[in-house]
Amino acid sequence: MKKLLIVLFAVGFSATAFAQGLDLGIKAGVNFASISDATGLDNRTGFVVGAFAGAKLNDKIGIQADLLYSQQGAEFDGGKIDLNYVNVPVVLKYFISESFHIHAGPQFGFIVDDNVATVFNDIDAGIDSKSFDLTAVLGLGVDLPMGIRLDGRYNFGLTDVIDGEGESSGKNSVITLSAGYSFL
């Protein structure tokens, strides 16, 4: 019986120690999106919501991956371009202090809904949005007590968002401000 208690205590202690480096939670925020390299377009405000999972590898370095639903696009005089993605950013975090960090990495976006064909139908029926978007992420974050997470990110597109024959389109440009809650 004594050995069983010692083994259970050791397993419980090691699991607790390991879990202190893990970060799992939910987040939501606001996007200020536009399409770069395109004229006559203004920012579109949308929301972002999803979950995150990360680990602190040591005192200074961590990694985090998110699964986010993100409203992006742009507005213009005649309406707006809606580009709604499921984004998967994977960022490397560098902790400047115990709770404040900077982060950077790639983001892989998959279009789930858009109105590009409808908006540009009068111009050219062959124009549509690309189904995949690759962006780079740069950001700042702070981990507050009680599991509260705040961060700001700038996502700049590396691929065009419009798919059209001979078309050169702009790239996503998104500023995201979000708050989250970590369960661990």
Considering only CA atoms, which of 157, 73, 166 is closest in space to residue 123?
166
pLDDT at 17: 44
pLDDT at 43: 84
How far is the CA of 106 from the CAs of 44, 61, 127, in angstroms?
Answer: 22, 17, 26
Is the pLDDT at 6 greater than 90? The verdict is no
Token digits of residue 63: 């990694």
69 in Cβ contact with 31 (< 8 Å): no
Is the pLDDT at 12 greater than 50? The verdict is no
Per residue in 132-156, pLDDT (tens digit) is: 999 999 999 999 999 999 999 999 9
- Residue 177: pLDDT band (50, 70, 90) is very high
What's the whole-number average pLDDT of the chain? 83
Domains defined along the chain, listed by start = 22-182 (2.40.160.20)
pLDDT at 35: 87
Q: Which helix (H) or strand (E) holds 61?
A: strand 61-76
- Residue 41: pLDDT band (50, 70, 90) is confident
* % of the chain beyond a pLDDT of 90: 58
Is the pLDDT at 5 greater than 50? The verdict is no
Is the pLDDT at 19 greater than 70? The verdict is no
Q: What is the mean pLDDT of residues 47-69?
A: 96
Place of tokens 């995949």: 132
pLDDT at 36: 85
Q: What is the mean pLDDT of residues 15-40?
A: 78
Query: What CA–CA distance (Å, rounded) separates 29 from 20?
Result: 25
Per residue in 88-117, pLDDT (tens digit) is: 999 999 999 999 999 999 999 999 987 665
Residue 133: exposure state from Cβ atoms within 10 A (0-12, 13-18, ≥19): buried
β partners of residue 8: none
